[in-house]
Structure 1
Amino acid sequence: MAVGHTHGSAEEVTFADIVGRAAGGARTAGQLSYAVIRECIITGLLAPGEHLRQEDLAERIGVSRIPVRTALMQLESEGLVSFHPHRGAVVRTLTVEQVREIYQLRELVEAHALRKSIARMTSARAARLRELGEVLDGPHERGTLHEQRTAFYRELYDAADNPFAVEIIEDLRNVVNRYLVGRHVAHGLRYHRELARLAARGDGDGAERVLRDYLAEYCRRVIETLADEGEPAEPAEREQV
C-alpha cells in the first residue's frame, strides 16, 4: 500500500500527521482507526483504487487488525471503501454517472440553503460574505484556499442556523474532492465575488443562477479531469454511493 500518494498536493501531509491529530482526543481503537482512514481517503492520501491492507494500516495507526477491519466496514457503508473478492478492501473509485448525480444533488441542496440564508441575511453577514468573496477571487497564499473556501460557503449558507444542510453540502463536496487533490479544476473560475454581492443584497434569483452555472461548469471540469487522468471507472451498479 503506497501510503502518501497525494496527486502533488501543495501541503504534504503524512499518514503519521493524521494519526497524531486523530489521537489527540479520548478515542477507542475503532474510533481512531475510522477517523484516520477516513481522513486519509478524503484528503487523497489514500488514492482511489488503492488497496487497503489491514495489517499495514493497523501497524501505522498503532492498533490491532480488528478495529481496522471494523472501520473499513463502516467506511464501506459510507461509500468510501469497497470489498472485492481476492483483493480485499480498496478505496472506491467514482463513475461519470455518480459525478453527475452528486452535482444534481448539490444543486438541489445548495439552492435551498442559499434561499433560506438570503431570507435571513444580516448586514454583518453581508459584509463578511463580500469580504470572503473578494479574498477567494483574488490571489491566494500557499495552503490557504481550502480554509477560505470553507469559510465562504459556511457564511453563504448560514452554517450557524443551517448546520444540517451545510453538513450535507460539505459531505457531497468531499466525495468528489478526494479525487481532485492537487488538481486545479477551479482554475480561472471567478464567481465568488458576484455570488456574494447578489446574496448580500438579497437577490435570490440572481444568486441562484450564478450558483447553478458554477456547479454545472465545475461538474463538467471534474468529469474531464477524471477522464484525462485515467481514473478507473467501475460499473455503476458496483459503485452505489
Structure 2
Amino acid sequence: MTETAVRIFDIMACNVYWDFDGSPLPREQHKFLVSFYPTKGVPTPELIDRIVARGPGGYQVEFTNQLFTPANTDGYIYDRTLDYYWYMVNLSTGFMPEGEYTIEVTCTDGTVLTRSRTQRQDSTEALVSAYRDNRQRMLDSFTPSGRGRLSEGTALTGLECSWSTLKELAGQDAYYIYRLAEGGSAREFDTQNLTWWDNIFMQRIRGGDVAAGLNRGGVTVPEELKPDTTYAYFVEVTDANVQSETNICIFQPHQVFTTP
C-alpha cells in the first residue's frame, strides 16, 4: 500500500448538544465524522470522490467535499500538526436513535472503504441531564473568562485554563477536550486554524493514556500566544476518548479573553 492510499483512521456517529451562544441552530443535533491517515504528497480531498453516512431506518446523508466552516458545518478540516484530514457534517435533525451507523468512502480510483459503529443512547441521557442541571455552575467556573484582558505581566506561554467538571458537580464521569483559536466569538473561531487543542484521541493512541481527558478540569497551553490579541476557547464534554466509541458531544459556550 502506497503512502498516498486513502485509509480510514476512525469514525464518529454521535449525538451533539450544541450550546454555543447566539447560534440559531437547535441544541439537539447529530454528527458524522471520518478521519484519515495522512496521504503523503497529495491532499486527501483530491483522492475522495464521495462520502456517505447511513443509519437506522434507511437514514442517509452525504458529506460535501468542501472546506468545513462554522457557516456550512459540512466538509473537511485539515490538522496541520498531524498532517491529516477529517470530514465532518453536523446535522440539525435532533438526536438520532440507537443502532448501527456506517460511513462509506468512495475514492477517485474506485476503491470503496467502509467503517461501522453502534451508537448507544444511555450516555446521552446521563451527560446531557447532568450538564443541563449544572450548566451555569460550569460556565461560572471557567478561568480565564468574561471577555476581559489578562493581567499585565501574564506570561504568554504556559497559560493555565481551568473549569469545574461534571464529576465534581454531579458525580458524572466524562472526558474533556479543549480548543483555542484567535477571535472574539463562536463565529470568528476558525476550526481550520487552531492555536492549540488538547487532542485526547491521540493521547490515548500514541501516548497509551487510556484515561486521557477523563474528568480533566484544566489545561496548560504550551503554545506562545500573541500579545494584545483576543482569543476564544471552548471545552467539549464527551463520553469517550476514542472516536468510534463516542456517543455524545456537548459543545459548551466559548470563553473569550485578550492577552496583555
TM-score (norm 1): 0.28
The structure with the greater share of residues assigned to strand is 2
TM-score (norm 2): 0.27
The structure with the greater share of residues assigned to helix is 1
Determine which structure has greater relative contact order: mean sequence separation of CA pairs < 8 Å that are 6+ residues apart, divided by chain length: 1
